[in-house]
Structure 1
């Protein structure tokens, strides 16, 4: 029996390279050789603490869920059931495995027993879903930081030759923002179902979205410009937003967001980024008023003041139409509500604080601010691959804007050139996201890759955004 090398987490910072037996793929599965896996914030939490929020590892776990690879073997029945898949095909790997409203023997459940979430194309909410690299369920389902893996065929999405493996690995985080944007109502619902046998059948469903509104003319604010926040900025711009602004505590990341055209502002004197000041560590003598005020009121007061400063810097006194909160930090969650305009929507994307003190519920209610939960994704991979491949998938005149021209100056005459005739107009989106990959390691260097991600700076002082484990 052949073996496969895997980077296995046994506890906090206890990551070991191990040889594991490689079984033949089961019915309905394919064997995939992993070519690229991006390290995510949740992976880092598991590596550093052995847990991600409430989910602690209870047995050795292979991390990694932002992956692409090549099919090396088909399990029984795959050639017939999934004729679009074949050995040698390059694929992006979707890592959430819901029940699909099927019994353990593969037969469909009766109407009364059907999974309402899988049946309504919201399989990310399936209560029986198992997600590769997550400790939420037990036994855990291993992730993709291994040489080869057997995986459900319906979760494998073909990618074109023009897309590199590292670009294809970005399909997963891009899916997170496609789903959040649909939940926020600024992205059209998917026209493709991932749960059908061929993964190619079109369908019409808007159950996962709020009532749709166009991104055109909307002002978007993003909290946090790590990889997820930067993708939120890029997608909002691709959807045709009027302006995209960002808040973070890291000036270098904000400078990167501005320099590379992830953020932009049309508000005249306003800028497109705001660096959030860290709370003072100096203890001052308490006043009678401050000692009488509960701590949570202080958090609320500071959030309101910081929001006012940010809106002043952005020159957006009325607030933003859509806010993507991508940090999960309590201070930013509170601040996002105060930065929202009347009738705005706040999409909660970041996974961090399990609870928030003194939430400004009256402020949100009287201004009819919608708080939108967003968890992973469903039916997003096809559109994500199309976007990364340079295809037009949104009918929006704003897509003709040159997304690499932050000041919106007139487009050049590239469309008249011979090269432009062979390049879709929106490949700038894919090139922009490719810049997020700042560091690359081999599988044998996974521990070093996690340590670098934890530091946030390399030995030359370079900024770390997305670390990719690749076959180099």
Structure 2
């Protein structure tokens, strides 16, 4: 039997409406999940602000949200291993399961993949800013008792960081620089640190974010990138070299083994190439400018690998292990502190999106990850 649920629906730029939708009973292979915590991502913010994300247009009313966790409300007839009341994190990209990339385990780049809250597939795959959704049990992950639903929602961007780490082939005791101290940059720094990097330096233009990173165990040290721009490309490349050299003096790391570039800003991509030692890797994690001007010769002549990163694949189980282990180690990154602002209920979605577009709130507090909490206190491990 179907029921009626509330959903936050985008109809145009900054036009969010709370509406009622029908929801059927879960199919035999699905769980019906009461969505508890949804983190707002940069792509969600682009859709909200511009009604598009790059060249991907929204072509019909769309519920946003894909960083989510919730509580099982009903279980499909063929599903085992779950019961009503279980806390779960959701992996919201559904691949075809039969193409060459899927067969290799690289389903994140499956051409037929449908991703909740994205306008790429049509009809759009509706996002998680709804009271309840039905979702295949195969792509749901049970959360341990000690892991709250807010942290469960963070497993999605943590998966991006873990996937980037895997593709980086980072050696033990490596030196690492992370450009960008937003949520994904902080998580890339955290994963590198817990995976055995000797030094993790994080660089950003915001001192508050850098202080947060070091004080909460996400990085060993930081560098404040000056707001400096050249009048032409030659001058910009000279500034990029200066930035890389200055970062190299932090903790005397010099050129580093791996750079995680999490901004997509051309000046940071350029500086990242100059930061990387011969034979090292720069990971392009940030989805910024689609066309980049980079010192390709400086990379090629030193055999610096430039490696793309797109979402994640097969990360949730290990991400859960990472956050579990962090709860037992006071020196580990404080993942739960990434959630800086919480809004209760779908009717607060507009306020939540407006906050997510800021770096500081009205009281001067740092804005990192904004979540919409649909069930109460999703930060509680027991919820």
Instruction: Calculate the TM-score normalised by the size of structure 2.
Output: 0.93
From 224, 231, 239, the equivalent of 2:187 is 231
Alignment of 1:348 with 2:349, yes or no, is no
Q: Determine if the alignment matches structure 1 residue 274 to structure 2 residue 223.
A: yes
Aligned residue in 2 for 1:417: none
Quick check: which has more Rg, 1 or 2? Answer: 1
Partner of 1:405: none
Residue pair 1:273, 1:314 contacting (<8 A) in 2 also? no
1:433 to 314, 332, 335: 335
Structure 2 matches for 1:34-45, cutoff 5 A?
34-45=35-46
Residue of structure 2 in register with 1:458 after alignment:
361
1:84 alignment counterpart: 81
Gaps in structure 1 of 5+ consecutive residues: 102-114, 187-213, 265-271, 282-289, 392-423
DSSP-derived class of the 1:166 partner: helix
| In 1, Cα distance between equivalents of 2:177 and 2:33 | 38
1:296 equivalenced with 2:249 (yes/no): no
Report the Cα distance in structure 1 between the residues aligned to 2:175 and 2:4, rounded to whole angstroms: 52
- 2:92 equivalent to 1:95: yes
Report how far residue 68 of structure 1 moved: 0.6
Aligned-partner Cα distance in 1 for 2:182–2:153 = 16
2:379 match: none
CA deviations 1:381-426 (Å, max 9, x no partner) are 01111221228xxxxxxxxxxxxxxxxxxxxxxxxxxxxxxxx743
Residue in structure 2 matched with residue 308 of structure 1 by the alignment: 245
For the 8 Å contact 2:69–2:90, the answer to whether it is kept is: yes
Residue by residue over 1:158-177, the C-alpha shift from the partner in whole angstroms, topping out at 9 and shown as x without a partner, is: 11111111111111111111
**Could you say if the C-alpha distance between residues 453 and 305 of structure 1 is closer, same or farther in structure 2, counting changes exceeding 3 Å?**
same
Matched-pair contact (CA < 8 Å) for 1:53–1:352: no
1:308, CA displacement in angstroms?
Answer: 2.2
Among 305, 314, 319, the alignment partner of 1:370 is 305
| Alpha-carbon distance between aligned partners in 2 of 1:274 and 1:390, rounded to the nearest angstrom | 28
Residue 427 of structure 1 deviates from its aligned partner by: 6.6
1:47 and 2:48 aligned: yes
> In the alignment, what sits opposite 1:243?
199
1:222 aligns with 2:178: yes
State whether structure 2 residue 216 is matched by structure 1 residue 260: yes
Which structure carries more strand by proportion?
2
Q: SS of 1:134's equivalent?
A: coil
- 2:104 is aligned, of 111, 116, 120, to 120
Q: Which runs of 5+ in 2 are unaligned?
A: 377-383
> Which residue of the other structure, out of 282, 296, 301, is the alignment partner of 1:361?
296
In structure 1, distance between residues paired with 2:246 and 2:330: 36
The match for 2:64 is 63
- In structure 2, the partner of 1:75 is 76
**Aligned-partner SS, 2:357:** helix
**3-state DSSP class of the match of 2:21?**
strand
Q: How far did residue 62 of structure 1 move? A: 0.8
- In 1, the alpha carbon distance for the partners of 2:225 and 2:188 equals 19
Q: Cα deviation per residue 1:274-312 (whole Å; 9 max; x = unaligned)?
A: 11111359xxxxxxxx7xxxx333332322222223223
Summarize the Cα distance change of 1:444–1:333 in structure 2 as closer, same or farther, 3 Å threshold.
same
1:71: Cα distance to partner? 1.3
User: Contact 1:45/1:52 (CA < 8 Å) preserved in 2?
Assistant: yes
TM-score, length-scaled by structure 1: 0.76
Can you list the C-alpha shifts for 1:175-211, whole angstroms capped at 9, x where unaligned?
Answer: 111111000113xxxxxxxxxxxxxxxxxxxxxxxxx
Q: 1:386 to 1:313 in 2, by over 3 A?
A: closer
Q: Matches of 1:64 and 1:133 in 2, distance apart?
A: 6
Please provide the CA RMSD for this pair. Answer: 1.7
Query: 2:229·2:236 contact (CA, 8 Å) conserved in 1?
Result: no
Match 2:275 to one of 325, 336, 339: 339
Larger displacement relative to structure 2 (240-249 or 19-28): 19-28
Cα offset for 1:74? 2.2
- Say which SS state the counterpart of residue 171 (structure 1) adopts: helix
